[in-house]
C-alpha cells in the first residue's frame, strides 16, 4: 500500500513571456516517511527545475486509491461514499474514501470512477469531484524498490561481517 505525501515547492519559474516569477506548486510523492518524501521530491525535481527551490510544506495526503490514465492531464480529488448494510443492526453504513483521479475534466473523472468501481459488490455514491492543484505525481517505481532492497541487503551483510 502506498503512502502519499503532498509536497509544496517554491521556486523561480520563467513564464511564456520570459518573465521570471516565484511560484508555489504542489506535487505528490510516494514514500515511507517524511524524510524519504523530502529526499525523493528533491531528487525528482532536480531534473525539472533549474536553480534553487524550497520545500515549504510537506504533509501526508489522505488518498486511499489512485486512478491513473495516459490521457488525463489534471488531477481530481474525489470523495466516494461506499455503502454497505449492517445486517445485524439493519442499518446502512457509509465509509467515505478519498481518491485521486487523473482525467481530462470532471465528467471524465466521474467516468473513470464508474469504471473503477464497476467490479465492486457494494453500492457507492460519488460525493464530490474537485480539481486539485497537484502538478505531478511521483510513484515508487519497481526498480527503485529493488535498488533500496539491494542497498539494505548490502548494509545488513556489512553489519554481519563486522561482528
CATH code, 150:
3.10.20
**81 in the same domain as 53:** no
What's the rounded mean pLDDT across residues 57-64? 93
57 and 137 together in one domain: yes
pTM reported for the whole predicted model: 0.77
Q: Do residue 54 and residue 34 come from a single domain?
A: yes
Residues 139 and 125 in one domain: no
Which contacts (CB < 8 Å, 24+ apart) does range 41-44 have?
41/5, 41/7, 41/9, 41/138, 44/138
If asked whether residues 69 and 82 sit together in one domain, one would say yes
pLDDT interval class at 161 (50, 70, 90):
low
What's the pLDDT tens digit per position in 19-51? 889 999 999 999 999 999 999 999 999 988 888
4: exposed, middle or buried (C-beta count within 10 Å: 0-12, 13-18, 19+)? Answer: buried
User: Are the CB atoms for 6 and 28 separated by under 8 Å?
Assistant: yes
Answer positive or negative: Cα dihedral of 89, 90, 92, 97: positive
Sign of torsion, CA 62 124 137 2?
positive
The answer on 79 and 53 residing in a single domain is no
Q: Which residue has the cell 443492526?
A: 89
Residue 89, domain CATH: 3.30.1280
Distance of CA 1 to the CA centre of its chain: 12
What is the tens place of the pLDDT at every residue in 134-158?
999 999 875 554 444 444 444 455 5
Structural domain count, the chain:
2
Is 125:84 a contact under the CB 8 Å cutoff? no
Q: Examine the domain organization and report whether 137 and 123 are in the same domain.
A: no
pLDDT digits (tens, 9 = 90+) for 65-120: 999 988 889 999 999 999 888 778 888 888 999 999 999 999 999 999 999 999 88
Say whether both 47 and 77 belong to one domain.
no
Segments forming the whole domain that contains residue 139: 1-61+133-163
Amino acid at each position: 500500500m502506498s503512502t502519499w505525501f503532498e509536497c509544496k515547492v517554491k521556486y523561480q519559474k520563467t513564464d511564456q513571456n520570459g518573465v521570471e516569477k516565484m511560484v508555489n506548486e504542489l506535487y505528490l510523492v510516494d514514500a515511507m516517511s517524511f524524510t524519504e518524501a523530502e529526499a525523493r521530491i528533491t531528487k525528482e525535481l532536480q531534473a525539472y527545475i533549474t536553480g534553487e527551490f524550497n520545500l515549504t510544506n510537506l504533509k501526508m495526503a489522505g488518498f486511499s486509491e489512485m486512478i491513473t490514465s495516459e490521457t488525463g492531464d489534471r488531477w481530481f480529488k474525489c470523495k466516494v461514499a461506499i455503502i454497505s448494510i449492517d445486517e445485524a443492526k439493519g442499518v446502512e453504513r457509509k465509509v467515505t474514501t478519498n481518491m485521486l483521479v487523473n482525467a481530462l475534466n470532471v465528467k471524465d473523472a466521474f467516468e473513470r470512477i464508474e469504471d473503477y468501481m464497476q467490479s465492486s459488490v457494494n453500492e457507492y455514491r460519488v460525493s464530490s469531484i474537485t480539481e486539485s492543484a497537484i502538478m505531478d505525481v511521483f510513484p515508487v517505481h519497481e526498480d527503485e524498490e529493488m535498488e533500496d532492497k539491494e542497498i539494505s541487503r548490502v548494509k545488513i551483510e556489512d553489519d554481519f561481517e563486522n561482528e
